[in-house]
Amino acid sequence: MTLLVLLLALILLVWLLGWWFARGDDLTAYDHPVDPSAAERFGAADGPSAAHRQAEDDIRAKGGAVRGMSRRESLQFMRNFMEEIPAGRRFQCTFHPVDAGGVPAEWVLAPGADPRRRVLYIHGGAFIGGSANSHRTITSRYSEVANAAVLAVEYRLMPENRRRAGIEDCRAAYRWILENGPDETGAPDYLYVSGDSAGGNLSLVVSAWARDAGLRQPDAVIALSPLTDSTYSGPSIRGNLDSDAMLGPLFRALTKIPRILLTWLYVLETRFRPVDPRVSPVHGDLSRLPPTLIQVSESEMLLDDARRYVNKARAAGSPAFLQSWPGLLHVWQILNPELPEANEAFEEIGEFIQSVEATRLN
């Protein structure tokens, strides 16, 4: 009897701790549509392009190969897949490796790019994959549309390193780019921070940290399909599981795990509560932030992560904007120049940067 009571008490304690670990803001208050003045919707009347449909078919075929793999096998599969993305492409940009305050990185420079205009780019890959190389299709285009030198950061990945290590690397790179360009020292005239998926998460985290640390804030932040809530509570996490050809196959199993157990797994793996703003920027203070643009597909699991972040930031008085496309892949921007939708997204990024600079000049 005593043993049973102790066991029940232990189960209750584990449950209560799991509940506390995941206890944060009630984000359902931000599930409403974004104010029309801050939201734009794109997409052709007849749906995604033929090139996108082919890319989605290819992604779904590769996603099927993940089933039945061990965790180690699927990790290596994903890393290899990402590193092959730029294969066979020709770039007009030049790529220069650099030590960015102790963090490996590379400068990406389009012809004529202004070194006093800088973009800190943080790649995606679920915090376990990706590199400066895997995202060259994005960083090269960024250098063109922003007329800027792009610093692509090689932050430390999980599971070989703790989540905290990647955050520290992005902070170090941010401090470094405030004083260093590709060919000279000194502060940039304009500075932008951007990233996709996991890198979008880190971009938003770095932006809030720069504010709190009293550093010069970026002139703007652009996040592509960012993870903003590590409790995975957004309705689209499960609602878009089948329509998300990229993330669905990778994370379907996680959606079947009870939330308390998932919370414990997250805490044990990352050493963070999932509501900690250092891993869930939507749970932090979103006031006094620079102009922030989020692009997202309406078919992906992270749709509500984007919508909730924009709505909460705007409620806090920060200028945040949402651009969405129906039916597209998670981080479709990486498949440029093949996808017309990717080119359209970068054109919008270029226009956003121009609008930010026009406002600053006025």
Cα(56)–Cα(293) distance, integer angstroms: 25
Show the tokens assigned to 361. 């000049």
**Directed axis angle between helix 340-361 and helix 50-66, to 10°?**
110
From the list 161, 144, 165, 151, the residue with the least C-alpha distance to 122 is: 151
Antiparallel, parallel or unpaired: β 148-153 and 104-109: antiparallel
How many other C-beta atoms can be found within 10 angstroms of the C-beta atom of residue 267?
17
DSSP annotation of 25: -
φ/ψ of 46, rounded to 5, equals -95, 15
Length of the chain: 362
300 noted as active-site residue? yes
Q: Which amino acid is at 101?
A: G
Antiparallel, parallel or unpaired: β 320-325 and 114-122: unpaired
Q: Cis (ω within 30 of 0) for the bond into 326?
A: no
From the list 352, 281, 278, the residue with the least C-alpha distance to 319 is: 352
Q: Which of 330, 341, 344, 348 is catalytic?
A: 330
Which residues are bridge partners to 180 per DSSP?
185
How many other C-beta atoms can be found within 10 angstroms of the C-beta atom of residue 336?
19
330 noted as active-site residue? yes
Q: Which of 56, 300, 341, 344 is catalytic?
A: 300
Q: What does the radius of gyration of the chain's CA atoms come to, in whole angstroms? A: 20
243 noted as active-site residue? no
Q: What is the DSSP string of 142-198?
A: HHHHHTEEEEEE-PPPTTTS-HHHHHHHHHHHHHHHTTB-SS-BS--SEEEEEEETH
Q: Which of 140, 197, 297, 299 is catalytic?
A: 197
Given CA atoms 307, 201, 260, 21 in this order, what sign does their dihedral have?
A: negative
Q: Which amino acid is at 286?
A: L
Catalytic residues: 197, 300, 330
